Structure 1
Amino acid sequence: MHPHLARLRRRLRTACAEAGVPLEDRARLVMAATLLAEPALDSGTDVVLETTTADRLLAVTVRVPHPVDRPRRNTLPLLPYAEDDTSLTWHLPTGTAQHPIPAGDDQATDEETLALIARADTLAQEQRELKHELAETNSGVLAMYIELEQRDEQLRRAHAVIFRELEDALRPGPPAVPGLELAVHYSPTDQDSPTGGDLYDWFVLPSGHLHITLVDAVGHGVTSTRHALTVTHAIRTLALEGHPFRDLIARTAHTLATIEPDLMATVILARINPTTGELTLANGSHPAPVLATVDGQARLLRPPVVGRGIGFPEPGSPELLHHTLDPGDTLLLYTDGLVESRKDYLEGQTRLLNLAPAHAPLPITELPRELATRMHDVVLHADDTVVLAVRRPLPDTPR
């Protein structure tokens, strides 16, 4: 981090602490000022910070050397008032609550991130409660719909901040599933900007089955990450509510059509019985998984009719694919960034089918990364990449 940027963040936090600004507002202010100041400081130009307190308001002004247009201001976690295109001011209500500033920038950022996560969870809960009320009554539909839209916007803004600070947290580690070995590898398009639209979710259902969701949202950056996270959250909710596996993609598309009309994403779902190895796949416009068998073979798992993803015409998975994983078999789920590095999708799939049998015996924790490294030996088209590996181990094989 640029030393001047660290000092600017420290001054903001000190001003907020002295004025009793709530922790969540402080977090959004620090993130917004950081997004404005960092490019200018990196280019060697100065950024001016001014703070004043009056009439129970803390006024914070950041003056940057280059104009900031309205579309750019609208993406900030905390919307400013623009005196002109280079002077942006925020007015935050003061209070009596004191929030001591941690000594280190990382610790202060963690504290602010936790506050934003708590707020996002609160907004998500409020959203669910409001939708339930809307389904229960026909009175006041218009007023409730307007309120829902407002809360959706608040939730999206909160998520945009969280994504920048918690990219790793958005990609959870494997759950513990007796009878299965799991591993994942993620590589962003740009190592300096690791936010993208390739997200996954995996969890154990009350029945003991493992559920996996892999999403590739169209686009890049914070918007695509928000879209992908919205899809994974919706599918998790519907799955835990007990909706039929076959209907999850179509029902998710229908649910999100009004609140995220611009969202487009490919989706693949897997449901695995860890005891028997029974596998069910639902595919919505997503690359076909690869099965590497214990006898050294590899093939694509593609249903006769591949469904369509979220935001596509007639979304859903009209036909499911059923298969039983034998002991020693490995299932590979991935996003298209794995097979398109040479700008030839079919050639990439062929290379993956050739590489999978030779690398399938690797320890499960090494397999996804090694496959991505081999597949990306030549990169003519960079894209976010997720590789998930699921193995049904041989009997008496150490995990």
Structure 2
Amino acid sequence: MSAEPPATTGDVTALRARLRSICDEHGVDVELRARLVLSATALARDHLTAEPATARAHVRDEPIGTSTLVVTVPLRAPLDRTRTLTLPLLPEYGDEPAAVWHLPARSGVPASTGADPVQDDLRATEAELRAGLARVDALEREHRQLKHELSETNSGVLAMYVELEQRDEQLRRAHAVIFQELEDALRPPPPTVAGVELGVHYQPADPDAPTGGDLYDWFVLPDGVLQITIVDAVGHGVTCTRNALNVTHTIRTLTREGHPFEHLVRRAAEIDEGLMATVLLARLDPRTGELRLAGGGHPPALLVPAHGEPSYLHAPGRGVGFPDPGSAHIPSTVLSPGDEVLLYTDGLVESRGDVDEGEERLVRTARTHAASPLDLALSAIVRDMHDIVVYTDDTVLLGVRFTGA
């Protein structure tokens, strides 16, 4: 099969002149005209245009009141849909052997044709280059303007962000003060008891919300006996805190009224039928070292003796809101000087999701820190127990060290 004859310079020049004349006659923008001319020229140089190279056009009126100029350049064969064309202005694909472009049309002035087609082509090409450069310059100006506006916008956003950060920091500080005051109100300081060293470590599950259902209370009875209450109310948030406060205040009131120690958990369960909480009560006589416990479904206390292995002090019973609440019986033990008792909420031993494993680790870490000052020992115990946290919950750890002095 013989190769297609190449398009001559005269054919290409004639095609370009014809397209420019059509565009000028119908008011096509010079920059858009340049795209059309370059596209048709590329088709001609690729031997796709028919011989002789001719072009035709007609105007189509649109329903919206505008006109469309339809420019057609005959081809040797229909455009191959599988072939990617790299043209400044892509034609439409069709079944006819022609390249068709649709351009916006308006009234124009036909271009004058001089005696020298080559000079006319050069002048037209120069005009199209000028139009293209003007378009590039306009785009560059728009780009610079957009960058300037974006820079100003970013500066404004940055200033707003800085201001919001400052306000957020002020709000965090205000919240910290409020939370600290609330925490001080909810968690009373340890009372002074001769022969007894007391300490507490509280760690909330969420540092930004230091209120929860894990609360405690401790006070000295008129006969000098120390009573400690530790409560873990079911739930989270302020409502849970209120429920835990109701339990601790009720037990304190019932104790002041003289109700028997073994009846306190059961009587506290009568304050609110919808409230659910576990409770552990401890009474320590600093004169004798006798320790009595009343349980309400709460984790057992841990005895860390000055000499010997730690052991758990179980106080069976059902919690507030459970059937038949209160203690099954009141276990008691006598502490020796140097003995230590730890009372805690389940967040301490459930951090890895296994209570039994957590209780075993608590025995080991309590033994490790038994010789440290009580406050330091409690903080170290919580840190060791929370080295790996799978299940996050509030944690309260109370320490009672009997000195016997």
Place the TM-score, normalised by the shorter chain, in its bin: 0.5 to 0.7
Matched, 1:337 2:353: no
Q: 1:327 to 1:311 in 2, by over 3 A?
A: same
- The 8 Å contact of residues 337 and 384 in structure 1, kept in 2 or not, is answered as yes
Would the aligned equivalents of 1:163 and 1:222 in 2 still touch at CA under 8 Å?
no
Q: Tell me which residue corresponds to 2:291.
A: 279
Assess if the C-alpha contact under 8 Å between 2:201 and 2:396 holds in 1: yes
Q: Which residue is 2:300 aligned to?
A: 288
Provide closer, same or farther for how the CA distance between residues 327 and 335 of structure 1 changes in structure 2, counting only shifts above 3 A.
Answer: same
Equivalent-residue separation in structure 2 for 1:165 and 1:355 (angstroms) = 31
1:200, distance to aligned residue in structure 2 (A)? 0.2
The TM-score, its normalising length taken from structure 1, stands at 0.57
* Alignment partner, residue 313 of structure 1: 323
Q: Does residue 363 of the first structure (1) align with residue 379 of the second (2)? A: no
- Matches of residues 199-278 of structure 1 in structure 2 within 5 Å? 199-254=215-270, 256-257=271-272, 261-278=273-290
Q: Give the 3-state SS of the residue equivalent to 2:375 in structure 1.
A: coil
Write the distance in 2 (CA, Å) between the matches of 1:379 and 1:207.
Answer: 43
Distance in 2 of aligned mates of 1:329 and 1:176: 18
- 1:173 CA drift (Å): 1.3
Give the share of equivalent positions with the same residue, in percent: 56
Q: For each residue in 1:228-263, what CA deviation from the matched residue of structure 2 results, as whole angstroms up to 9, or x when unmatched?
A: 001000000000111000000001102x13xxx321
RMSD: 2.9
The residue identity in structure 2 corresponding to 1:220 is: H
Task: Tell me the distance in 2 between the aligned counterparts of 1:197 and 1:178.
Answer: 30
Query: Please, what TM-score do these two structures have when normalized by structure 2?
Result: 0.56
Structure 1 residue 163: deviation in Å? 7.6
2: distance between equivalents of 1:220 and 1:382? 12
Deviation at 1:183, TM superposition (A): 0.2
Which residue is equivalent to 2:335?
A: 325
Flag the structure with larger Rg.
2
Give the structure 1 partner of residue 194 of structure 2. 178
Following TM superposition, by how much is the alpha carbon of 1:283 offset from its aligned partner in structure 2, in angstroms? 0.6
List alignment gaps of at least 5 residues for structure 1.
1-40, 45-103, 114-161
Write the letter of the residue equivalent to 1:293.
P
Runs (5+) with no aligned partner, structure 2: 1-160, 165-169
Change (3 A) 1:322 1:246: same
User: 1:1-399, aligned counterparts within 5 Å?
Assistant: 166-254=182-270, 256-257=271-272, 261-303=273-315, 306-393=316-403
Q: Which amino acid aligns with 2:313?
A: L
CA–CA separation in structure 1 for the residues paired with 2:357 and 2:222: 40
Task: Please identify runs of 4+ aligned residues in structure 1 that moved more than 2 A.
Answer: 104-110, 162-165
Residue 296 of structure 1: CA displacement?
4.0
Contact 1:203 1:211 in 2 (8 A): yes
Which one-letter code corresponds to 2:275 in the other structure? L
Aligned residues: 242
Distance 1:195 1:251 in 2: 25
SS of equivalent residue, structure 1 residue 167: helix
Amino acid at match of 2:350: E
- Give the Cα–Cα distance (whole angstroms) in 2 for the partners of residues 176 and 307 of structure 1: 30
Q: Give the residue type in structure 1 aligned to 2:281.
A: L
CA 1:209–1:262: 2 relative to 1, 3 Å? same
| Residues 1:314 and 1:164: Cα distance change in structure 2 (over 3 Å) | farther
Contact 2:213 2:240 in 1 (8 A): yes
Kindly provide the CA deviation profile for residues 145-189 of structure 1, in whole angstroms up to 9, marking residues without a partner as x: xxxxxxxxxxxxxxxxx9895123211111000010000000000
Amino acid at match of 1:365: D
The 3 A distance-change label for structure 1 pair 381 and 107 is: closer
What does the per-residue CA deviation read over 1:287-341, in whole Å, with 9 as the maximum and x for residues that have no partner? Answer: 00000001141000014xx100110111001211100011110000000000000
Q: Give the whole-Å Cα distance in 2 for the aligned partners of 1:297 and 1:340.
A: 22
3-state SS, counterpart of residue 275 of structure 2: coil
1:275 partner letter: R
Give 2:400's aligned amino acid: V
Distance 2:266 2:247 in 1: 11
Query: Would you say the 8 A contact 2:303–2:342 is kept in 1?
Result: yes
Q: Which amino acid aligns with 1:320?
A: I
